[in-house]
Amino acid sequence: MLRECIDALNILPDGIYLDGTMGGGGHSAEIARRLTEGGRLIAVDRDADAHKAARERLKEYIDRVTFLRDDFKNACADLDEMGIGRLNGVLLDLGVSSWQLDSAERGFSYMKDAPLDMRMDRDARLTAYDVVNGYDESELQRIFREYGEEKLAGKIAAKIVREREKAPIETTLRLAELVAGCYPPATRHKFGHPAKRVFQAVRIEVNGELNGLADAVTELALRLAPEGRMAVITFHSLEDRIVKNAFKQLTLSCTCPPDFPVCVCGKVKEAELVNTKPITASAAELEENPRAESAKLRVIRRLDNERHK
């Protein structure tokens, strides 16, 4: 959804923009390309390998890009340290990047064999191997149900525990095989690959993807200058629900109970939705990139609070 994201940001040539999920630099390159000498892009990612790839991709625009290796959830503190105040735009492309999925050795894909890893930051301690082989059955069941919305969470967790007693589960294809075996053959591939929800759940747990997401979205939105825009792409219902609710709170002008005669909360409307319904991928893009099928793009525009009190 590259074109939709760039259009949504309404980029000013001399503006300051933050790409909180740089990945291989695809979105960052398109933002930087539209900036003049007075513009600036802060490109953020916690993955050292992503920084290597993105620096090469962005070398033509290196004079207007600041690379920051961190989780975007820490971006506001980082901006304070850098002396950067208001932003004209923020882009977050949540979840695992296509660049990471295509790097088989990272262990994100259930289609390619690799050690169970799934760390977005390879310096982090917790790996997918630790989760699959170390969490007890009830914890595995919880994360499969909560983070993967997996209906067979209990059955899959029990099978993993039984199998790892014989030998550790070390690779992605071994885990995918165990999960697939929990489904009856007739319905195994009815809704895509049977392991996709379990892999999503483990990845979210390893990287703490949902922890602090609502606060980070809100803080970055409040960092926007008047008329600045924030675009967020989500790929599953858990992320999308968090972003949708965070945006909703920013667009409210009062949170008092409906039976209060006057407003006493003091809430100020901070932003407006640019698109009332999420933007989804076009048919043309889905032909080129089937992974975009579940993508939802939500966009808000920062208001001038003095005019909306």
In CATH, what number is assigned to the domain containing residue 47? 3.40.50.150
- Which of 156, 187, 207 is the last residue before a domain boundary? 207
Give yes or no: residues 221 and 300 share one domain. Answer: yes
Q: What are phi and psi of 250, to 5 degrees?
A: -70, -25
What is the mean pLDDT of each successive set of 10 residues along the chain, which is 309 residues long?
Answer: 92 97 94 95 94 94 96 97 96 87 88 94 96 98 97 97 97 97 86 92 97 97 97 95 96 81 80 94 84 90 69
Token pair in block for residue 206: 């390893």
Residues 116 and 42 in one domain: no
Note whether 36 and 121 are same-domain residues: no
Whether 89 and 108 map to the same domain: the answer is no
Question: What pLDDT score does 309 carry?
Answer: 41
Tell me how many domains the chain contains: 2
Pair 14, 88 in one domain: yes
CA 74 to chain centroid, in Å, comes to: 14
Choosing from 207, 223, 256, the residue where a domain stops is: 207
Classify each residue of 238-256 as buried b or exposed e, where b means 16 or more C-beta atoms within 10 Å of its C-beta.
Answer: bbbebbbebbeebeeeeee
pLDDT at residue 1 in the model? 83
Assess whether 91 and 109 both reside in one domain: no
Give the separation between CA 191 and CA 201, rounded to whole angstroms: 17
Q: How many angstroms separate the CA atoms of 102 and 119, rounded?
A: 14
Q: Is there a single domain that holds both residue 227 and residue 87?
A: yes
Instruction: Note whether 264 and 293 are same-domain residues.
Output: yes
| Beta carbons of 72 and 44 less than 8 angstroms apart | yes
pTM metric for this prediction: 0.91
Of 207, 227, 246, the position where a domain reaches its end is 207
- Residue 142 sits in which domain range? 102-207
Name beta bridge partners: 301.
229, 272
Question: Is the same domain home to 11 and 158?
Answer: no
| CA distance linking residue 110 with residue 108, whole number of Å | 7
Are residues 191 and 250 both part of a single domain?
no
Measured on CA atoms in the order 131, 126, 200, 273, is the torsion positive or negative?
Answer: positive
**Residue carrying structure tokens 């799934």:** 118
Residue 134 and residue 184 in one domain: yes
Note whether 11 and 139 are same-domain residues.
Answer: no
CATH assignment of the domain containing 109 = 1.10.150.170
